[in-house]
Chain A
Amino acid sequence: EDQVTQSPEALRLQEGESSSLNCSYTVSGLRGLFWYRQDPGKGPEFLFTLYSAGEEKEKERLKATLTKKESFLHITAPKPEDSATYLCAVLLSGGYQKVTFGIGTKLQVIP
């Protein structure tokens, strides 16, 4: 069974304290991995797509990396406005819409 596990479930950081969120997956065939940000009461907002092991993408204070078994979302010197739930999703082989989402990591950045 295809599984996506995100850890930790929740993370509290001081402003400026860098850290990483993890997304590990056990799937039959990976075509890609997505990261999203979700603010309370809103729909997820697309951040990155990673397609192959070793690939990295950056956007402001965020950097996403991918290995054969997991992905990391590194947050460098976070600010309070980075507080949100971060979701990862894997795009599976075998046809359209085989996308499995993780439950997410709720990040709180304290001033």
Chain B
Amino acid sequence: NAGVTQTPKFQVLKTGQSMTLQCAQDMNHEYMSWYRQDPGMGLRLIHYSVGAGITDQGEVPNGYNVSRSTTEDFPLRLLSAAPSQTSVYFCAVSPSTNYGYTFGSGTRLTVV
């Protein structure tokens, strides 16, 4: 089992470009989340989903969109990339609220 798979691992974008970060899981967990990790700051929640068809905003949702059409996939879309979105992005899954996450290996994004 792969667990949580994120693609791509690295990406460089120009300001204003759009792209989609992919997250796929084979753990059959209902809860999926996107976090960003920046130096000197804790992981911050961008968007999350409690099941197919259900999504909600986290702490820092501006500039990002999500959708969840299947249990397995939870893509994160950057609508118009900005340098402030340079970060490492992690997808995380869990079976329920009270359980710890299983994280993907991350996508390192640089916006120039």
Contact = CB atoms under 8 A, between A and B. Distances in A.
Contacts of A102: 42
A96 B43 CA distance: 16
B33 interface: yes
B45 A99 contact: yes
Interface string A74-95: 0000000000000101010000
Nearest to B40: A103
B40 A96 contact: no
A59 interface: no
Given A96-B50, A99-B45, A45 B98 contact: no
A5 to B, nearest CB: 10
Given A42-B105, A43-B90, A101 B98 contact: no
B97 A46 contact: no
Interface in A54-111: 87, 89, 91, 96-97, 99-104
A46 B45 contact: no
Nearest to A97: B48
Interface of B: 4, 31, 33, 40-45, 48, 50, 56, 58, 90, 92, 97-106
13 contacts: A31-B97, A32-B98, A34-B100, A41-B106, A43-B104, A44-B90, A46-B101, A48-B100, A87-B42, A101-B42, A103-B40, A103-B41, A104-B42
Given A43-B104, A46-B100, A46-B102, 14 more contacts: A31-B97, A36-B100, A41-B106, A43-B103, A43-B106, A44-B43, A87-B43, A89-B42, A96-B31, A97-B45, A100-B42, A101-B42, A101-B43, A104-B42
